[in-house]
Structure 1
Amino acid sequence: MALPRSFPIQAAGGKTIDLPSVGFGTWAFEGGPTDPANPEWIKKALKVAFDTGYRHLECAWFYDVDREIGEAIREYGIPHFEIFISSKIWPNFYHPDYVEVCCDKILDGMGVNHVDCLLLHWPCAFRPTSLEALKTASAQDQASMEQKGMALTQDGDVMIDWQWTSEPIARAGGHPEGSIVPTWKSMEKLVQKGKARAIGVSNFDIADLKALLPHATIPISVNQIEAHPWFPNRDVVEFGNKHGIVTSCFSPFAGQKADGATLVQDPTVKKLAEKNCMGVGQLLQSWAVHVVLDSLQWDASEQTCTFTSVQRGTVPLGKSGNEERIKANFAVRRLSDEDIQALDDLERPNGTGRSIDFRKEWGVELWLKK
């Protein structure tokens, strides 16, 4: 049996929207073919991606490639209704009055009138310099933090805006009055205005989701988190499944560890890729999508999902500037239970497999369970 080509996500009014099960990430990092200093890379990559069959784009204001993405879509000639565009609000726009400012920047940059899913990028908020500064803020890689509209401490660190930070994180930081709920309510208004078809979150852990769920008049459709065999984030995925929240996964290939180790060079990963006649990225994305559902039932009154025998069922958001890898990463296939278990066994203890961690840099306690 083939892997699913899409997963239904919850939207307003009890409706669902099909989310393609494999997305294309558009975040760039310094060096290599996806250097942010050369944003034209994304147009070339998207031409290959569209030819291959990708119809799900993972974007964010902070990535600063909205203009190139919009141009790539128009130059290819593909109508918006055939593409699922997901984007994210950066945390210095979390004041309830400023959320729409960031959304409009995204829409104007791409030249579209709506996105299909709009997410809050992190569960913590950053203090902005001012509303006027946000209106002219630039996410360009060479822009300073001030030019991006972010207020800084005397030491040059970002300032957390505890007032609009997720309640569990704010409480852990000594600010029990903090809440991201008013920010979420501004997100709901964007759905009502037609600027987003669905809304969700990113980098939320279980405590953050628990704090927001009772206040979500429009459902939390997606939670985008880091997840891969080194760090499967299993408890967050399972919590999402139980509450009808689809999990999408950035960094599905993980990052390089301090000792130089990489998941794509792991002997088990390479052996399994060779066994299945796959590229390593193709193997890891297949692991992410892999799902077995003996039964699935959504209870609207209880806002819970009941199921048996489910494995992952997540949406990988792999990124590459290499033509052959772009093509291979899209061609996910079902793996044997034995191979899935072998990849599951690669999990590193105590969360040490995580690649992205800003807790020390930002001075916040992210990823709380209770």
Structure 2
Amino acid sequence: MADTPLSTLNNGVEMPVLGFGVFQTPPEETRSAVDAALRAGYRHIDTAAAYGNEREVGEAIANSGIGRPEVFIETKIWISDYGYDQTLHGFDKSARKLGVDQIDLLILHQALPTEFDRTLQAYRALETLLADGKVRAIGVSNFMVDHLTALLDQATVIPAVNQIEVHPYFTQHEVQAFGARQGILTQAWSPIGGITFYRDGEHTSTLQDPVIREIAQAHGKTPAQVMLRWHVQQGRSAIPKSTKPARIAENFDIFDFELTDAQLDAIDGLDTGRRGGPEPADITLANFGRPIPEA
């Protein structure tokens, strides 16, 4: 079984480039999905307080027989827990649910553009948790260039990661390039376009895209494997998700082939500029706030 290549984050911490995601995975399915991922070779699990399945992620890791230092755990603070003290408590809730003393990567799930002071206080709490050794790296998610600029103006620690929607139909080049200049690693959620099945008004999936399918055929791989390889070769971390053991294993099997520059360019050329997830500018506590239960 191939080991996952590692990305060295801007603070020297090493993180497996390919992670396993559990977004929208029901708690009752999470344990078996994470177990299948660990058996397939994943050593990086990505969850979030808002997913409601941190406890099951922690149980699957604890029951796997794999030593805690061998598994990189990433989770996210939800906007309802922003504010300095609230975010410190948000860490406690997540750590207790996960059953760990230290979280490898803790990130802010969204910017709150209309209440950015709360976002900044939340990030200051992440900096405290990092200084205290309770987390090994900190970062953000769904931050656009203006959010990153405002954060960097106040932060003492540059985020290690910005987890954003990236797939062949939506590449966010500007955000990626800005992050790269600052030493912030782009991490792709929905890396194979799972939440966006529309192109030019048609119900077409990236998995059915003729360009991607042709490249897949040339390598004897699946379209999903080609897309994940595209992310990794371009220096991104990717977080695919599935609950099917065969698909989970398939998504991990991407380290034995290489795309050509022309193939990478062809996939880049599929960008539609259309986002599948919510607009980051529209995230407010009124629209998206919900309490995160205690551990």
Q: Normalization by structure 1: what TM-score?
A: 0.71
Structure 2 residue 208 is matched with structure 1 residue 208: no
Residue aligning to 1:263: 206
Note the 1:101-250 alignment, pairs <5 A: 101-124=89-112, 162-163=114-115, 165=116, 178=117, 180-250=119-189
Q: Percentage identity across aligned positions?
A: 35
Query: How far apart are the structure 1 equivalents of 2:164 and 2:247?
Result: 22
Residue aligning to 1:286: 229
> Secondary structure, in 3 states, of the residue corresponding to 1:253?
coil
Distance of aligned partners of 1:185 and 1:317 in 2 relative to their CA distance in 1, 3 Å threshold? same
Residues 16-48 of structure 1, C-alpha deviations (whole Å, 9 max, x = no match) = 1011111101111xxxxx4x2xx2322212222
Which residue type is aligned with residue 264 of structure 2?
A: I
Q: Is the 8 A contact 1:281 1:325 kept in 2?
A: no
Q: CA deviation at 1:232?
A: 1.1
Distance of aligned partners of 1:105 and 1:25 in 2 relative to their CA distance in 1, 3 Å threshold? same
Residue aligning to 1:24: 20
The gaps in structure 1 that reach 5 residues or longer are 29-33, 126-161, 166-177, 291-311, 365-370
Flag the structure with larger Rg.
Answer: 1
Note the 1:341-360 alignment, pairs <5 A: 341-348=265-272, 351-352=273-274, 354-358=275-279
Aligned counterpart in structure 2 of residue 315 of structure 1, from 204, 223, 237: 237
Query: How far apart are the structure 2 equivalents of 1:221 and 1:331?
Result: 26
Q: CA deviation at 1:56?
A: 0.8
Q: Is the 8 A contact 2:145 2:175 kept in 1?
A: yes
Residues 32-71 of structure 1, C-alpha deviations (whole Å, 9 max, x = no match) = xx4x2xx232221222211221111111001111111111
Note the 1:59-78 alignment, pairs <5 A: 59-78=47-66
Which residue type is aligned with residue 256 of structure 1?
A: F
Query: How far apart are the structure 1 equivalents of 2:4 and 2:96?
Result: 33
Residue aligning to 1:87: 75
The gaps in structure 2 that reach 5 residues or longer are 286-295
Distance of aligned partners of 1:361 and 1:225 in 2 relative to their CA distance in 1, 3 Å threshold? closer
Residues 269-306 of structure 1, C-alpha deviations (whole Å, 9 max, x = no match) = 2222122111221111000011xxxxxxxxxxxxxxxx
Structure 2 residue 3 is matched with structure 1 residue 7: no
Distance of aligned partners of 1:359 and 1:219 in 2 relative to their CA distance in 1, 3 Å threshold? closer
RMSD: 2.1
Query: How far apart are the structure 1 equivalents of 2:280 and 2:53?
Result: 26
Structure 2 residue 247 is matched with structure 1 residue 325: yes
Q: CA deviation at 1:334?
A: 1.8
Query: How far apart are the structure 2 equivalents of 1:212 and 1:4?
Result: 31
Between Structure 1 and Structure 2, the one with more helix by share is: 2
Q: Is the 8 A contact 1:25 1:59 kept in 2?
A: yes
Query: How far apart are the structure 1 equivalents of 2:119 and 2:278?
Result: 20
Query: How far apart are the structure 1 equivalents of 2:48 and 2:6?
Result: 21
Query: How far apart are the structure 2 equivalents of 1:68 and 1:222?
Result: 24
